[in-house]
Amino acid sequence: MDEHLWHHGDPRRKGPKELTGMVDLTRDEHGQVHARLLDLVPGRSKKAYADWLTERGEQFRAGIGVAALDPFGGYKAAIDEQLADATAVLDAFHVVKLGTAVVDEVRRRIQQATLGHRGRKGDPLYGIATILRAGAENLTDKQWARLATAVDRDEAHQEVFVAWQCAQELRAAYKTKDTREGRRRAEKILASFHTCPIPEVARLGRTLRRWKAAFLAYFDTDRANNGGTEAVNGLIELHRRLARGFRNRDNYRLRMLLAAGGLKP
């Protein structure tokens, strides 16, 4: 069984603000994932996850082969402690999100340095903010032209373009059909990003190097990821809205287990 993690806000006004959810993403005989929520526990910490795994028993833990997670050290520590034989995989969505966040950070820094204020309508970098969050393969000729025009407006804008290219390299590693080629690209990222003169990119490189094994494990585990977990999260958010919120956490937990399949044998 593959064990995947996600977390979301507890809608109650008092008490813990976050819950940790455990989702079973075991593949069927055809390789398809059928996500099923197993439980919700209060807190987003190593202790919350480790205690839950301890309560499940040794036989349950022994059946977990892959654990996908977002880049949070508490979850990784719990996996290392409780699931020593399982492979931890850094979720692709969260890694790409880190790359996109780096581009935004560089853009805002350069915007402030060149114009002395936050982005405003008519500012060249502010005008391409949405384009910088898109994949290169999805850009139209018009968008490419807008990107080139904005970058050429000021030499300082080159930093933004380089950061965007780095984020595109990260996306490309995951999008490559051949996992061997994807892993090669990922290893190149690990070898180069941390030496980048752009501080935000270098920081991302150091983060990925700290998570090297879990980052590369994506290419060795048939692309294990948190996609099914995000789908379960969507179901939970839908049912939370339909219920107009919950005041009792136990009722909330049971309702979400019913909605997302956790009450099935």
- What are 23-63's pLDDT values in tens digits? 998 888 887 888 889 998 888 889 988 999 999 999 999 99
Residue 15 has pLDDT above 50, yes or no: no
Q: Are residues 33 and 75 in the same domain?
A: yes
Query: What CATH number does the domain containing 239 carry?
Result: 3.30.420
Q: Is residue 265 part of a domain?
A: no
Q: Are residues 104 and 141 in the same domain?
A: yes
**Mean pLDDT (whole number) for 108-116:** 96
- Residue type for 231, please? A
Q: Is residue 31 part of a domain?
A: yes
Give the count of domains, the chain.
Answer: 2
Please list the residues that pair with 119 across neighbouring strands. Answer: none
pLDDT of residue 5: 43
Residue 254 CA: distances (Å) to CA of 10, 37, 77, 209? 14, 11, 28, 39
Q: Is residue 234 part of a domain?
A: yes
Query: Predicted confidence band at 263 (pLDDT cuts at 50, 70, 90)?
Result: low
Displacement of CA 32 from its chain's centroid (Å): 21
Q: Is residue 178 part of a domain?
A: yes
In this prediction the pTM is 0.85
pLDDT of residue 265: 53
What is the Cα–Cα distance from 11 to 237, expressed in whole angstroms?
10
Q: Are residues 214 and 235 in the same domain?
A: no
Residue 1 has pLDDT above 80, yes or no: no
Q: Are residues 64 and 44 in the same domain?
A: yes
Mean pLDDT, the chain, as a whole number? 89
Displacement of CA 105 from its chain's centroid (Å): 17
Query: Predicted confidence band at 245 (pLDDT cuts at 50, 70, 90)?
Result: confident
Q: Is residue 187 part of a domain?
A: yes
Residue 102 C-beta-side C-alpha neighbours within 13 Å: 30
Residue 249 has pLDDT above 90, yes or no: no
Q: Are residues 229 and 211 in the same domain?
A: no
Which domain does 72 fall in, by range? 2-91+225-260
Q: Are residues 87 and 142 in the same domain?
A: no
